[in-house]
Copies of this chain bind each other. A is one copy, B any other.
Amino acid sequence: MAKSKFEYVRNFETDDACLPNCWVVVRVDGRSFHRFAEHHGFRKPNDDRALHLMNKCAQTVMQELKDIAIAYGQSDEYSFVFRKQSNWFKRRSSKFMTHVVSQFASSYVFYWKDYFEDQPLLYPPGFDGRVVLYPSDQNLKDYLSWRQADCHINNLYNTVFWSLVQKSGLTPVQAQKRLQGTLAGDKNEILFSEFNINYNNEPLIYRKGTVLVWQKVNQVIRKKIKIPQETDEKEVEVTRMKNIPASLHCDIIGQQFWDQYPEILTDDS
């Protein structure tokens, strides 16, 4: 077989290794999720089912892939941070982004029914991904702060917008006009005076998004063991330490979070 004749085409692949000693961030975004949300009856401004499904997918990504130090998600996007020293697949950019995005996408469909019990999935959704490098810890913290600030801005807007539409009967165009040019304070005021909503009491998952960090937990599993001098196996409970991606809904812009979880930035084991 004329294998050698064609094999030269392999040389057209380019080396896309990420610069060493930088944080590698892969951000996943839902493709046309505005439309997808409408087709699947997502509740507005936030759908708990959708948010928890996103978190489940992100946890799966963290468990299946190597070297992810922290992840942060909000709305239809999720960012995964690979350790500075990661050498997974020789740090090839295409490997980082396609493994993340494909695992996320397949998990989304796989776990859908666990979160949307009464709403069948109508078609397989798409996602896109990108890789961004951050050389310093401060750059990385600023990246995550940027996403969480974005979460806050959008959620405040959406909370007022959908209150105006759902409770005051405004059309979307009217609601949009009403909010044009308003500052954060104005929006808080509308929520409070017109809808008796104190924005600061809204659920943290809506206001802060979700942070996934590794946590050691004790896991009790039942295991069959063979006791010497006994014929039957015996089932016993065994406690094992396990690393799991735990979800938090806290502020990550201030220094407190990083003081509480110093290993995220330092642990390059």
Contacts and interface: CB of A to CB of B under 8 A. Distances in A.
A21 interface: yes
Contact of A13 (B60, B110, B128, B132): B132
A253 B7 CA distance: 13
Contacts of A123: 110
Interface in A7-28: 7-15, 17, 19-22, 28
A44 interface: no
A105 interface: yes
Contacts of A172: none
Interface string A129-164: 111111110010011011001101100000000000
B98 A21 contact: no
Given A123-B110, A126-B99, A21 B184 contact: no
Contacts of A99: 31, 126-128
A214 interface: no
Contacts of A265: none
A268 interface: no
A89 to B, nearest CB: 8
B106 A21 contact: no
Interface residues of A, number: 66
B60 A124 contact: yes
A173 interface: no
A105 B127 CA distance: 10
Classify the secondary structure of A's interface with B.
Answer: helix
Nearest to A84: B135
Interface string A86-105: 00000001110111011111
Nearest to A133: B19
A78 interface: no
Contact of A153 (B3, B184, B253): B3
Contacts of A128: 94-95, 98-99, 102
Nearest to A141: B6
A106 B135 contact: no
Contacts of A95: 128
B106 A124 contact: yes
Given A22-B22, A98-B129, A135-B136, 10 more contacts: A3-B153, A15-B17, A19-B22, A20-B135, A98-B101, A102-B128, A106-B106, A106-B109, A109-B109, A109-B124
12 contacts: A6-B143, A9-B139, A11-B20, A12-B21, A94-B129, A98-B128, A101-B102, A102-B127, A106-B124, A106-B125, A109-B109, A135-B135
